[in-house]
Structure 1
């Protein structure tokens, strides 16, 4: 069986994981743009959901419906914030300069 030698700091845990196995993680080696895009997508989804509230009436809503909406908003916003923090961390890292290797003459 092949095991992966992955650096332990490559994956950042999402705060919304509720298990010890942490099935959802952020790949810290992803580009800042991709990480920001994923964070923006989640925050935009939460914003869109919040913008639908003026169209709804809670007179006929069940208490569990409100709980479901709050849970969805929490997951979207918290994951979005975790992703944005990870993207900011990537952007703040100093750029690693790759030194060119000298060309070896063919013998």
Structure 2
């Protein structure tokens, strides 16, 4: 595994957002958990609102706002999983 892995949510020829695959497991875990918790809190606040805008454009933008940190978190969890699998048992 390369030392730095580009996040999958940012598609470009020269990646600028990278995950350090050799970062300590607790650092990777906290980075992923932070992003996933942020999206969870946002979605929970929308779920608690009685009147959510039904405009398709607004919902599409909300979905994109949620997808970006979720994808980042999943990428970091993927690196963490690879680290754990590579450890001797």
**In 2, are the aligned partners of 1:35 and 1:83 still within 8 Å (CA)?**
yes
The offset of 1:62, in angstroms, is 4.2
Which of the residues 11, 16, 24 maps onto 2:9?
16
CA RMSD in angstroms, aligned pairs only: 1.9
Structure 1 contact 31–90 (Cα < 8 Å) conserved: no
For normalisation by structure 2, the TM-score amounts to 0.84
1:58: which partner in 2? 52
3-state SS, counterpart of residue 14 of structure 2: coil
What does residue 72 of structure 2 align with?
79
Alpha-carbon separation, structure 2, partners of 1:94 and 1:81: 20
Equivalent pair of 2:33/2:73 in contact (CA under 8 Å): yes
* Moved beyond 4 Å, runs of 4+: none
- How does the TM-score come out when normalised to structure 1? 0.71
How many residue pairs get aligned? The number is 87
Q: Rg larger in 1 or in 2? A: 1
Structure 1 unaligned blocks of 5 or more = 1-7, 96-107
From the two aligned structures, give the one with the greater helix fraction. Answer: 2
